[in-house]
A and B are shown apart, each in its own frame.
Chain A
Amino acid sequence: MFNKNKALIVSLCLIVLLGMLAACSKATDQSPSTNKSAETGKSAETNQSGAAAAPQDRPFYSIKVMVRVLPEVKFEETGFGKIIKDKFNMTFDFIPYTGDYVEKLNLMLAAGDYPELLNIRNNDMVQKYIDANVLVPLDDYLEDAPNFAKMFEKYIPNWRISPDNKLYKWEANVPTDAVYYAKGLDIAVRMDALEQQGWPNLLSTDSYITFLKKALEQNPETNGQKTIGMTVAFAGNLMAWLPQVMFEKGGRYLASILNGVIFNDVTKEFEDLSTNEYVLESYQFFNKLYREGILDKESFTDTEDQVQEKLNSGRALSVWYSVYKTRTANPLLSKAGKPNMQYIRLPVRSDKQIERNEKRELFETDANAQGSVAITKEAKYPERIIELLNWISTDEAQTLMQNGEEGVYYTIVDGKKQPTDQYKAVLAKTEKDTFGLNGLSQVFPTYKTKDANGNYIDMLADPDVNDQLMLSAEERNAYKQLGWKNSYQYWLDTGVPQSVGLVYQVVIDPASELGAAEANIVQLRSKWTPRLIQAKNDEEFQSIWEQYLVEHEKLNPQKLVDEYNRLYAEKAKNQ
Chain B
Amino acid sequence: MGLLFRFRNHHTVKKIIRHQYIYFMLFPAVLLIFVFQYLPLVGWLMAFKDYKPGFSLWSAEWIGFHQFYVFFFQSSDYIYLIRNTLIMNILSTTVSLFVSLIFALLINEIRVKFFVKTVQTITFFPFFISWVIIYSLMNALFAQESGLINQLLVSWHVIDEGINLLGGKQYAWGMIVAMDVWKGLGYNSIIFIASISAIPVDQYEAAEIDGAGRFKKMRYVTVPNLMPTLIVLLIINSGYVFSSDISKYLLFMNSLNWETMEVLDMYIYNRGLKLFNFPYATAVEIVKSCVSITLIIGVNQLSKKLTGKAIF
B and A form one assembly: yes
Given A6-B21, A234-B255, A306-B139, A515-B54 contact (CB < 8 Å): no
Residue B31 is within 8 A (CB to CB) of chain A in the complex: yes
Which residues of the other chain, B, contact A109 by a CB distance below 8 angstroms?
Answer: 53-54
Q: Are B144 and A297 within 8 A (Cβ)?
A: yes
Distance between Cα atoms of A111 and B270 in the complex (Å):
20
Selected from A103, A132, A530, the residue in CB contact (under 8 A) with B255 is A530
* Stretch among B199-207, B219-227, B271-279, B295-303 lining the A interface: B271-279
Q: Are B273 and A301 within 8 A (Cβ)?
A: no
Which residues of the other chain, B, contact A432 by a CB distance below 8 angstroms?
Answer: none
Q: Are B55 and A520 within 8 A (Cβ)?
A: no
Residue B3 is within 8 A (CB to CB) of chain A in the complex: no
- Contacting A at CB under 8 A, from B255-272, are 255-256, 258-259, 270-271
Q: Are A239 and B255 within 8 A (Cβ)?
A: yes
- Contacting A at CB under 8 A, from B22-37, are 24-25, 27-28, 31-32, 35
- Which residue of chain B has its CB nearest to the CB of A309? B146
Distance between Cα atoms of A301 and B146 in the complex (Å):
12
- Which residue of chain B has its CB nearest to the CB of A526? B255
Given A110-B54, A110-B278, A520-B75, A297-B164 contact (CB < 8 Å): yes
Q: Are A298 and B146 within 8 A (Cβ)?
A: yes
Q: Are B145 and A103 within 8 A (Cβ)?
A: no
- Contacting B at CB under 8 A, from A1-60, are 6, 9-10, 13, 16-17, 20, 24, 31-33
Selected from A33, A234, A300, A520, the residue in CB contact (under 8 A) with B56 is A33
- Contacting A at CB under 8 A, from B228-256, are 254-256
Distance between Cα atoms of A322 and B70 in the complex (Å):
38
Distance between Cα atoms of A109 and B258 in the complex (Å):
31
Given A6-B21, A20-B32, A510-B276, A132-B271 contact (CB < 8 Å): no
Q: Are B24 and A296 within 8 A (Cβ)?
A: no
Which residues of the other chain, B, contact A129 by a CB distance below 8 angstroms?
Answer: 54
**Chain A proximity of B12: nearest CB distance (Å):** 21
Q: Are A298 and B276 within 8 A (Cβ)?
A: no
Q: Are B255 and A20 within 8 A (Cβ)?
A: no
Distance between Cα atoms of A233 and B153 in the complex (Å):
26
Which residues of the other chain, B, contact A103 by a CB distance below 8 angstroms?
Answer: 273-274
- Which residue of chain A has its CB nearest to the CB of B70? A516
Q: Are A301 and B143 within 8 A (Cβ)?
A: yes
**Chain B proximity of A313: nearest CB distance (Å):** 10
Selected from A128, A228, A529, the residue in CB contact (under 8 A) with B52 is A128
- Which residue of chain A has its CB nearest to the CB of B272? A511
- Contacting B at CB under 8 A, from A424-455, are none
Which residues of the other chain, A, contact B126 by a CB distance below 8 angstroms?
Answer: none
Which residues of the other chain, B, contact A133 by a CB distance below 8 angstroms?
Answer: 54
Which residues of the other chain, B, contact A234 by a CB distance below 8 angstroms?
Answer: 254-255
Given A9-B25, A298-B143, A515-B275 contact (CB < 8 Å): yes
Q: Are A132 and B53 within 8 A (Cβ)?
A: yes
Distance between Cα atoms of A549 and B213 in the complex (Å):
68
Which residues of the other chain, A, contact B55 by a CB distance below 8 angstroms?
Answer: 32, 131-132
Q: Are A32 and B54 within 8 A (Cβ)?
A: yes
Residue A333 is within 8 A (CB to CB) of chain B in the complex: no
Q: Are B164 and A510 within 8 A (Cβ)?
A: no
Selected from B52, B255, B278, the residue in CB contact (under 8 A) with A300 is B255
Distance between Cα atoms of A295 and B60 in the complex (Å):
51
Which residues of the other chain, A, contact B144 by a CB distance below 8 angstroms?
Answer: 297-298, 301
Selected from B167, B258, B275, the residue in CB contact (under 8 A) with A527 is B258
Q: What sequence of 0s and 1s flags, for each residue 43-82 of chain A, a beta carbon within 8 Å of any chain B beta carbon?
A: 0000000000000000000000000000000000000000
Distance between Cα atoms of A103 and B278 in the complex (Å):
12
Q: Are A300 and B276 within 8 A (Cβ)?
A: no
Residue B166 is within 8 A (CB to CB) of chain A in the complex: yes
Q: Are B274 and A301 within 8 A (Cβ)?
A: no
Residue A226 is within 8 A (CB to CB) of chain B in the complex: yes
**Chain B proximity of A257: nearest CB distance (Å):** 14
Which residues of the other chain, B, contact A228 by a CB distance below 8 angstroms?
Answer: 145
Which residues of the other chain, B, contact A13 by a CB distance below 8 angstroms?
Answer: 24-25, 27-28
Which residues of the other chain, B, contact A32 by a CB distance below 8 angstroms?
Answer: 54-55
Which residues of the other chain, B, contact A16 by a CB distance below 8 angstroms?
Answer: 28
Given A106-B273, A128-B53, A9-B21 contact (CB < 8 Å): yes
Which residues of the other chain, A, contact B31 by a CB distance below 8 angstroms?
Answer: 17, 20
Which residues of the other chain, B, contact A102 by a CB distance below 8 angstroms?
Answer: 274
Q: What sequence of 0s and 1s flags, for each residue 165-176 of chain A, a beta carbon within 8 Å of any chain B beta carbon?
A: 000000000000
Which residues of the other chain, A, contact B278 by a CB distance below 8 angstroms?
Answer: 110
**Chain A proximity of B196: nearest CB distance (Å):** 35
Which residues of the other chain, A, contact B164 by a CB distance below 8 angstroms?
Answer: 297, 301
Q: What sequence of 0s and 1s flags, for each residue 224-254 of chain A, a beta carbon within 8 Å of any chain B beta carbon?
A: 0110100000111001000000000000000
Distance between Cα atoms of A134 and B55 in the complex (Å):
10
Which residues of the other chain, B, contact A17 by a CB distance below 8 angstroms?
Answer: 27-28, 31
Q: Are A300 and B254 within 8 A (Cβ)?
A: yes
Residue A501 is within 8 A (CB to CB) of chain B in the complex: no
Which residues of the other chain, B, contact A226 by a CB distance below 8 angstroms?
Answer: 145-146
Distance between Cα atoms of A529 and B255 in the complex (Å):
8
Residue A519 is within 8 A (CB to CB) of chain B in the complex: yes
Of listed B32, B145, B255, residue having the most chain A CB within 10 A: B255
Which residues of the other chain, A, contact B21 by a CB distance below 8 angstroms?
Answer: 6, 9-10
Q: Are A511 and B271 within 8 A (Cβ)?
A: no
Given A133-B54, A296-B145, A301-B167, 19 more pairs with CB closer than 8 A: A6-B21, A9-B25, A10-B21, A13-B25, A20-B31, A20-B32, A103-B273, A106-B273, A128-B52, A131-B52, A234-B255, A298-B146, A300-B255, A301-B164, A301-B254, A511-B276, A511-B277, A515-B277, A523-B270
14 examples of A-B residue contacts, CB within 8 angstroms: A9-B21, A13-B24, A20-B32, A109-B53, A131-B55, A132-B55, A133-B54, A300-B254, A301-B139, A301-B143, A301-B256, A511-B52, A511-B280, A515-B277
